[in-house]
């Protein structure tokens, strides 16, 4: 069975492909000729992943899913949240996003909580019906960047499971075993298995 994943990111496709390997073959929208940007104008992760999955289904009429992820920092009232990719501007520059987050936390003073979590919401369209799955990775924001693995905010995020290093200092397999997206994907995989009998 083929399933379309609303991403243009080969790293994400690979990660999801490994988790779903005995259930389906994953393809990018571009493999089915859909190369346009998928709209993402919601105000929550739930709305955005739903919007992306619905858009794909309307265009391709095939089973598909979309994910949306945000980094929620307690002392910043859950920011950057759904705006994580564009936190420091439309350029979606990870370095600038991390610098802004560290500045905002520093401005709150040394006593401010650095607790945070990544949250992923996946919307699946299967046989025309919609389902959502969530995953989170809890942790805290480091004082400065360390490590070069992963992407996005990984160099400043310390997961509770590995408190002596940032996620950018974990190998890919270790990160996937605790990550928000890995957890959401495994929940979806477990549900799909129940559907396959």
- The Cα diameter of the chain in Å comes to 54
Answer for which of 15, 63, 72, 154 binds ligand IMP (CB under 6 A) is: 154
Rounded-to-integer distance, Cα 175 and Cα 50, Å? 25
Considering the rule CB under 6 A, would residue 81 count as an interface residue with ligand IMP?
A: no
Write down the least CB distance from residue 179 to ligand IMP, Å.
5
- The CA–CA distances, whole Å, from 78 to 30, 58, 102, 118 equal 33, 32, 15, 10
68 is catalytic: yes
- The CA–CA distances, whole Å, from 92 to 31, 142, 159 equal 25, 21, 23
Answer for which of 16, 52, 63, 84 binds ligand IMP (CB under 6 A) is: 84
Residues numbered 162 to 191 that lie near ligand IMP (CB under 6 A) are: 179
Whether 179 and 135 have beta carbons less than 8 Å apart is answered as: yes
| Set 22, 58, 67, 68: catalytic member | 68
Closer to ligand IMP by CB, 141 or 192: give it: 141
Token pair recorded at residue 13: 């496709």
Write down the least CB distance from residue 197 to ligand IMP, Å.
32
| Residues binding ligand IMP (CB under 6 A) | 68-69, 71, 84-85, 92, 94, 97, 118, 150-154, 179
Which residues carry out catalysis?
A: 68
């Amino acid at each position: 069975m083929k399933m379309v994943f609303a991403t243009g990111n080969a790293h994400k496709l690979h990660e999801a492909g490994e988790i779903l390997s005995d259930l389906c073959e994953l393809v990018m929208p571009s493999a089915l000729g859909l190369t346009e940007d998928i709209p993402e104008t919601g105000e929550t992760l739930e709305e955005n992943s739903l919007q992306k999955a619905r858009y794909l289904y309307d265009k391709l009429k095939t089973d598909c899913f979309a994910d949306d992820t945000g980094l929620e920092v307690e002392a910043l009232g859950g920011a950057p949240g759904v705006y994580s990719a564009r936190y420091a501007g439309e350029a979606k520059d990870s370095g600038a996003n991390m610098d802004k987050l560290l500045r905002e936390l520093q401005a709150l003073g040394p006593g401010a909580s650095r607790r945070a979590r990544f949250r992923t919401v996946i919307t699946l369209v299967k046989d025309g019906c919609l389902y959502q799955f969530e995953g989170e990775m809890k942790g805290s924001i480091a004082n400065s960047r360390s490590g070069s693995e992963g992407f996005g905010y990984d160099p400043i995020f310390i997961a509770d499971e590995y408190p002596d290093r940032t996620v950018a200092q974990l190998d890919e397999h270790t990160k996937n075993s605790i990550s928000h997206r890995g957890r959401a994907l495994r929940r979806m995989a477990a549900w799909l298995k129940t559907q396959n009998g």
